[in-house]
Every structure is written in C-alpha cells, then in structure tokens.
Chains A and B, each alone.
Chain A
C-alpha cells in the first residue's frame, strides 16, 4: 500500500471514526428522516457506519471485494426496510444483524456452489491505525498477516463473535441480540473462540 493511499485512508478513517461521538438523538433524527424516504439522511448514515459495517463484513468474509459488496447491499437493505425499525434496539445492533446475515448467506451460497469459501485477500491486509516506526510497522504487518490467517481458519461462528467483540467492542447483550442467542451462549462461545484462535496461532507459530 502506497503512502498516499494510506494517508488518504487515514483521513477517511478520521472522518468516519466520529461514529463514536455520534449522538443517539442525532441518529434517531436521521433514521426518522430515512423513514420519510430522505436519501440525504441515508447518505449521512452510510458515512457514519460504512467503516464498521465494512470491517465486520471483512472480518467475517476475509475478502475486500466481498466485504464491500456486502456492506453496500446491507445499506440498501437498511433503506428498503428502515420502515420496520421501531427503535426497540440500537440501530447499530440492527445494522450488524443485517450484515451478519448477509455474510452468512454469501458463505452458504458458496458452500452450495462448492466454490472456495475463504480466499484470503493478501492485497489489502488489515493495517494498524496509528503511525509507527518502519520496524514496528514491519513487525505489526507480519503479526497482522498471521492473525488474519489464523482468523480465516476459524469456524464462521467463532470468527464472527471475535470480530463483534474485539474489533467493534460490542457488549455481551448486543452480541446476543446480533447473533440471536442467549447471554450464556455468548459467554461460552466467546471463550471457545478465543481458545480456538490461541490454538490456531500456536499452530502457525510452530
């Protein structure tokens, strides 16, 4: 990845990362405007959430283009079904549920067609956000590649729960809502996933 691209990406990230500061009242207003079929409001929602939607999809699928397609498709589904959103849960939870379902559908489709289910896209490996020295960056890049390989070898359910928890830092309650399971199941599956990742990393190191 060139320095220019990386700088541009960092700028994009700094714009998008404002999702953390996104006021829930503002979000509610945006959703209401979307429900009134205002496309400009949808554009703002896309900018606010595209980063995390893309990263969750990328974490589950492990492929840049698939993740981009799924993210766009998820936003289109949001637009088409926003009328059904009744503010009973957080918008982000609802959105991540759509993304997760779309990713699983794609994986299922591939399994049915017997195509390669997980092709690691090495052209765009995950990169650390903060700027570091070249040596540190080299180590981090290597670590990220190993980590990405280990993640891609995990079961889909393990990879999904790890991405939701470690990358997006969703609470156990939110994960339970996204995955449609109990808190106890989240707790046990997360433990199994972390253990599986640890074993996979040990195997790769050997």
Chain B
C-alpha cells in the first residue's frame, strides 16, 4: 500500500514539486525499492529525450501577417462565418427552430383559445353539472367560499338557458 502511494509521487518528486517531508519519504523509499528506482530512472531518461527533441519551426511571420491583412481588409465577412457556423450545425438549428415553433404555437393556443363550445347535448349537461357541483358547497365535497361565485355565464345563450332550466326542473 505504502509502495503504491509513494510510486504515485515519483513524477512530482522528479519535478521537485513535493513538500520537504514527502520528498524525504520518497528518498527513503527509493533506497529500498528497486522497482520505484527503475521507474524514476526511466522517467528521467524519457524527460531528457523529449527535451532534446525539437522540430525547427518554419518561418511563419509573413504568412501570419498576410492572414492578418486579409482578415483586416474583409471585416464585413464576419457575419458570414457566423452564418456558416450555424448552417454547418443542422441539429442545433433544427432543435432551436422546433423549440421556438412549439413555444409560438403554445402561446397562440393559450392566448386565443375560444370559449368552450358544446356540440353534444351530453357534453353540455356534464359541463353545467360539474360547474354547479363545484360551486355549490352543499353538493361539493370541496370547501369553497360562499361569496364571490366564479361561475362564468357569458357563453350561455337563450337556448342553453332553456336547456339549463329543463335540467334543473325550473
């Protein structure tokens, strides 16, 4: 267990990034553990090899300056790149368009939904009965205040009123 814990510190030990106490612990462990000593030696060797290897970079000053001049001379094309980015992301565009369309449709449905129309006589009975029961504290099992009745009678025309009277035997 201790061996595994110490082994995980070898990389930081190599970079001198350990606290002095831990550094000392690793020092002591390395005296007894050949496996960790070998690993540290390999780390050192690989580090040296990578550090020695560099690729001579080609000169890119002129190319970069040319790119800068090109981008400066055509700043109006910026919107095009944004547009292009959207075009090449069809899923994002599709998902956004679909969500927006859903929101717009939902807004119109809830804002401009017409008053309930009862095409069937039975629907009318059920509607009126439900409303009556809901607003009558004696018939309903839900406690509602007696004042401020909320029955909306705007849509009840003459025919409907006669049907209502018929239903309640008035």
Is B a genuine binding partner of A? Answer: yes
Interface residues of A (CB under 8 A from B): 6, 9-10, 12-13, 16, 39, 42-43, 46-47, 50-51, 53-55, 58, 64, 67-68, 71-72, 75-76, 79-80, 124, 126-129, 140, 143-144, 147-148, 151, 162-163, 165-167, 169, 172, 187-188, 190-191, 194-195, 197-198, 201
Residue of B nearest to A15 (CB): B59
Given A72-B64, A166-B51, A9 and B56 contact (CB-CB distance below 8 Å)? yes
What A residues does B54 contact at CB under 8 A?
A: 13, 51, 55, 126-127, 129, 167
Q: A50 is contacted by which of B59, B69, B71 (Cβ under 8 Å)?
A: B59
Residue of B nearest to A190 (CB): B11
Contact in complex: A143, B17 (CB < 8 Å): no
What A residues does B50 contact at CB under 8 A?
A: 147, 151, 162-163, 166-167
The answer for the CA separation of A79 and B69 in the assembled complex, in Å, is 11
Contact in complex: A191, B10 (CB < 8 Å): yes
Asked whether any CB of chain A lies closer than 8 Å to the CB of B109, the reply is no
Q: B56 is contacted by which of A10, A143, A147 (Cβ under 8 Å)?
A: A10
Q: A194 is contacted by which of B17, B43, B53, B61 (Cβ under 8 Å)?
A: B43
The answer for the CA separation of A67 and B54 in the assembled complex, in Å, is 13
Given A39-B68, A167-B50, A127 and B55 contact (CB-CB distance below 8 Å)? yes
Contact in complex: A72, B11 (CB < 8 Å): no
What A residues does B59 contact at CB under 8 A?
A: 12, 47, 50
The answer for the CA separation of A26 and B68 in the assembled complex, in Å, is 22
Asked whether any CB of chain A lies closer than 8 Å to the CB of B103, the reply is no
What A residues does B55 contact at CB under 8 A?
A: 54-55, 58, 64, 67, 124, 126-127
B45 to chain A, nearest CB (A): 9
Contact in complex: A187, B56 (CB < 8 Å): no
Residue of A nearest to B43 (CB): A194
Given A126-B53, A162-B50, A71 and B8 contact (CB-CB distance below 8 Å)? no
B34 to chain A, nearest CB (A): 15
What B residues does A166 contact at CB under 8 A?
A: 46-47, 50-51
B144 to chain A, nearest CB (A): 59
Contact in complex: B68, A172 (CB < 8 Å): no
Given A51-B57, A124-B55, A187 and B17 contact (CB-CB distance below 8 Å)? yes
For window 36-93 of B, CB contacts with A under 8 Å fall at 39, 42-43, 46-47, 49-61, 63-65, 67-69, 71
